[in-house]
Chains A and B, each alone.
Chain A
Amino acid sequence: NAGVTQTPKFRILKIGQSMTLQCTQDMNHNYMYWYRQDPGMGLKLIYYSVGAGITDKGEVPNGYNVSRSTTEDFPLRLELAAPSQTSVYFCASTLTSGDYNEQFFGPGTRLTVL
Chain B
Amino acid sequence: GQQLNQSPQSMFIQEGEDVSMNCTSSSIFNTWLWYKQDPGEGPVLLIALYKAGELTSNGRLTAQFGITRKDSFLNISASIPSDVGIYFCAVRTGANNLFFGTGTRLTVIP
- Cβ of A2: which chain B residues have Cβ within 8 Å of it? none
- Neighbour of B97 across the interface among A45, A102, A106, CB < 8 A: A45
CA gap between A92 and B100 in the complex, in Å: 14
- Neighbour of B42 across the interface among A56, A94, A107, CB < 8 A: A107
The answer to whether A44 and B33 touch across the interface, beta carbons within 8 angstroms, is: no
**Residue A74 interfacial (CB < 8 Å):** no
B18-37 vs A, Cβ < 8 Å mask (1 yes, 0 no): 00000000000001010000
Q: Known: A31-B96, A101-B33, A101-B98. Contact between A43 and B50, CB under 8 A?
A: no
The answer to whether B96 and A44 touch across the interface, beta carbons within 8 angstroms, is: no
- Neighbour of A99 across the interface among B4, B31, B40, B97, CB < 8 A: B31
The answer to whether B42 and A92 touch across the interface, beta carbons within 8 angstroms, is: yes
Q: Known: A105-B44, A108-B41, A108-B42. Contact between A42 and B97, CB under 8 A?
A: no
Q: Known: A42-B101, A106-B42, A107-B40. Contact between A101 and B96, CB under 8 A?
A: yes
Chain B interface category by residue count: 20 to 34
Q: Which residues 23-65 in B have Cβ within 8 Å of A in the complex?
A: 31, 33, 40-45, 48, 50
Tell me whether chain B's interface is mostly helix, strand or loop, or mixed.
Answer: mixed
The answer to whether B43 and A105 touch across the interface, beta carbons within 8 angstroms, is: yes
The answer to whether A48 and B97 touch across the interface, beta carbons within 8 angstroms, is: yes
- Cβ of A40: which chain B residues have Cβ within 8 Å of it? 102-103
B62-88 vs A, Cβ < 8 Å mask (1 yes, 0 no): 000000000000000000000000001
A25-42 vs B, Cβ < 8 Å mask (1 yes, 0 no): 000000101010000111
Q: Known: A94-B96, A108-B42. Contact between A42 and B50, CB under 8 A?
A: no
**Residue A78 interfacial (CB < 8 Å):** no
The answer to whether B98 and A102 touch across the interface, beta carbons within 8 angstroms, is: no
B-to-A contact residues, CB < 8 Å: 4, 31, 33, 40-45, 48, 50, 88, 92, 95-103
Would you list 20 pairs from A and B whose C-beta atoms are within 8 A, ordered by A residue? A31-B96, A35-B100, A42-B88, A42-B100, A43-B43, A44-B100, A45-B98, A50-B95, A50-B96, A58-B97, A96-B96, A99-B31, A101-B31, A102-B48, A103-B45, A103-B98, A105-B41, A106-B42, A107-B40, A107-B42
